[in-house]
């Protein structure tokens, strides 16, 4: 009988222990669990800042990454996974906002929004910034190797120079390629004019002898190693290339290009909302934003943070273009399913044509 009582006592003790563990786990996963799940692009924040945030607040950060806006959108739309902060790009913010995938921000909980330059607020994808806070911004431009070509490149039309046969690498993106094609003909990169788009597709076909490759992340390595003379890429990517190869030059054509934004948002999958606001406020602090900008190499929309950066960074018009150039830059609009499909189809035809 004593053995039975001892056995039952042991069982009860084990059950009690398991119950205690489940309570601890529940508390950890609860909305007030002093935790934050950030869903961001890879290598898109200074890791030291995540450690500093945890040290200051006690909030543990779980950092997960995605490699495209579409992958991020799909994961959040499916639900079932907790993401408290996400960092989508402009057109995707508009799409997610329209599909009720974002939390409307309580601006009374925001501290430091006044540090963001007015020129970076009120964009078409979120006109009142009710759902998003600017994180980084940049451009699409041309990078070229001065040791491989003698000519100076300043305009999109220069890419069609027959001297550049088999010399150009393009980023693998329909909006980027169709966009510079449209800009080269004096059109908006958000054109919904079928005649303009058809003409641009024909013009891009004429560029094919000069195209060496159409790639994604590999573009950076090709340009750094001198395997290609010219590339069309994003300013942040170009910044890394310039650091690694002193023969490279990055230029934003003055006739127009893309002005892109990546913004902080709180998706509907949020489980740690107060922690999310704490993180946004932390990233809005000028000294934090400046450190992050220097680490990443992208342009900060935080005017007080910009003032803390070295002059050689902020005076470089390749990455902080003049106001005259900025006025000719456009944000990618959410074209809608029909027109986005047309852009994608024309881009696919262009890629097939060059083969």
Of the two residues 33 and 146, the one the predictor is more confident about is 146
Q: In the predicted model, is pLDDT for residue 53 greater than 60?
A: yes
Q: Give the integer Cα–Cα distance in Å for 291 and 297.
A: 10
To the nearest whole percent, how much of the chain has pLDDT over 70?
A: 90
- Fold topology of 138-259+321-353: D-Maltodextrin-Binding Protein; domain 2 (3.40.190)
Q: Does residue 324 register a pLDDT over 50?
A: yes
The tokens for 15 are 């059950």
Residue 278 pLDDT exceeds 50: yes
Helices 174-184 and 336-353: crossing angle in degrees, nearest 10, is 80
pLDDT at residue number 2:
32
pLDDT(102) > 80: yes
Local confidence band at 33 (pLDDT 50, 70, 90 cut-offs)? low
Report the pLDDT value the prediction gives residue 9, as an integer from 0 to 100: 52
Does the pLDDT value for residue 136 go beyond 70?
A: yes
pLDDT band at 323 (very low <50, low <70, confident <90, very high): confident
- Report CA-CA distances (Å) from 252 to 177, 204, 235: 14, 19, 9
Query: What superfamily does domain 27-137+261-314 belong to in CATH?
Result: Periplasmic binding protein-like II (3.40.190.10)
SS3 of the chain: the string is CHHHHHHHHHHHHHHHHHHHHHHHHHHHHCCCCCEEEEEEECCCCCHHHHHHHHHHHCCEEEEEEECCHHHHHHHHHHCCCCCCEECCEHHHHHHHHHCCCECCCCHHHCCCHHHECHHHCCCCCCCCCCCCEEEEEEEEEEEEECCCCCCCCCCHHHHHCHHHCCCEEEECCHHHHHHHHHHHCCCCCCCCCHHHHHHHHHHHHHHHHHEEEEECCHHHHHHHHCCCCEEEEEHHHHHHHHHHCCCEEEECCCCCEEEEEEEEECECCCCCHHHHHHHHHHHHCHHHHHHHHHHHCCECCEHHHHHHCCHHHHCCCCCCCCHHHHCCEECCCCCHHHHHHHHHHHHHHHHHHCC
Tell me what the mean pLDDT of segment 275-279 comes to. Answer: 98
Per-residue confidence at 197, pLDDT binned at 50, 70, 90?
Answer: very high
Check for a shared fold between 27-137+261-314 and 138-259+321-353. yes
Domain positions in the chain:
27-137+261-314, 138-259+321-353
At 5 the pLDDT is 39
Residue 343, token pair as written in the block: 């852009």
Q: In angstroms, what CA-CA distances link 302 with 119, 137, 233, 332? A: 11, 10, 23, 21
The more confident residue out of 132 and 240 is: 132
Average pLDDT, the chain: 90
Locate 195 and state its tokens.
Answer: 């005649």
By C-alpha distance, which of 197, 217, 222 is closest to 345? 197
Asked if 42 and 220 count as a contact pair (C-beta separation under 8 A), the reply is no
| In the chain, % of residues over pLDDT 90 | 77
Q: What is the mean pLDDT of residues 103-132?
A: 96
Question: Residue 17's pLDDT band (boundaries 50, 70, 90)?
Answer: very low
The pLDDT value given to residue 355: 59
Q: Which of 108-112, 214-218, 274-278 has the weakest average pLDDT?
A: 214-218
């Amino acid at each position: 009988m004593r053995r039975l009582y001892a056995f039952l006592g042991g069982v009860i003790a084990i059950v009690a222990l398991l119950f205690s563990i489940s309570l601890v786990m529940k508390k950890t996963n609860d909305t007030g669990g002093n935790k934050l799940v950030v869903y961001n692009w890879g290598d898109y924040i200074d890791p030291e800042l995540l450690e500093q945030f945890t040290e200051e607040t006690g909030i543990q950060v779980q950092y997960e990454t995605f490699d495209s806006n579409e992958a991020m959108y799909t994961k959040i739309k499916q639900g079932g996974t907790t993401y408290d902060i996400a960092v989508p790009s402009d057109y995707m913010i508009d799409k997610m906002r329209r599909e009720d995938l974002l939390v409307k921000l309580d601006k009374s909980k925001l501290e430091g929004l006044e540090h963001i330059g007015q020129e970076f607020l009120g964009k078409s994808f979120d006109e009142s910034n009710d759902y998003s806070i600017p994180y980084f911004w940049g451009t699409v431009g041309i990078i070229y190797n001065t040791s491989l070509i003698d000519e100076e490149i300043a305009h999109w039309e220069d890419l069609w120079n027959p001297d550049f046969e088999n010399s150009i690498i393009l980023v693998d993106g329909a909006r980027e390629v169709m966009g510079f094609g449209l800009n080269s003909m004096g059109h908006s990169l958000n054109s919904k004019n079928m005649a303009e788009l058809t003409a641009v597709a024909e013009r891009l076909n004429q560029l094919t002898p000069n195209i060496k490759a159409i790639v994604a992340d590999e573009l950076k390595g090709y340009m750094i190693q001198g395997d290609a003379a010219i590339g069309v890429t994003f300013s942040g990517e170009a910044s890394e290339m310039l650091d690694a190869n002193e023969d490279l030059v990055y230029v934003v054509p003055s006739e127009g290009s893309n002005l892109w934004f990546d913004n902080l948002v709180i998706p509907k999958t949020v489980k740690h909302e107060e922690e999310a606001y704490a993180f946004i406020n932390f990233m809005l602090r000028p000294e934090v934003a400046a450190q992050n900008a220097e680490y990443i190499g992208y342009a900060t929309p935080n005017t007080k943070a910009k003032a803390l950066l070295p002059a050689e960074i902020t005076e470089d018009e390749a990455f902080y273009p003049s106001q005259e150039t900025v006025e000719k830059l456009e944000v990618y609009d959410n074209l809608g399913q029909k027109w986005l499909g047309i852009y994608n189809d024309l881009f696919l035809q262009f890629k097939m044509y060059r083969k």
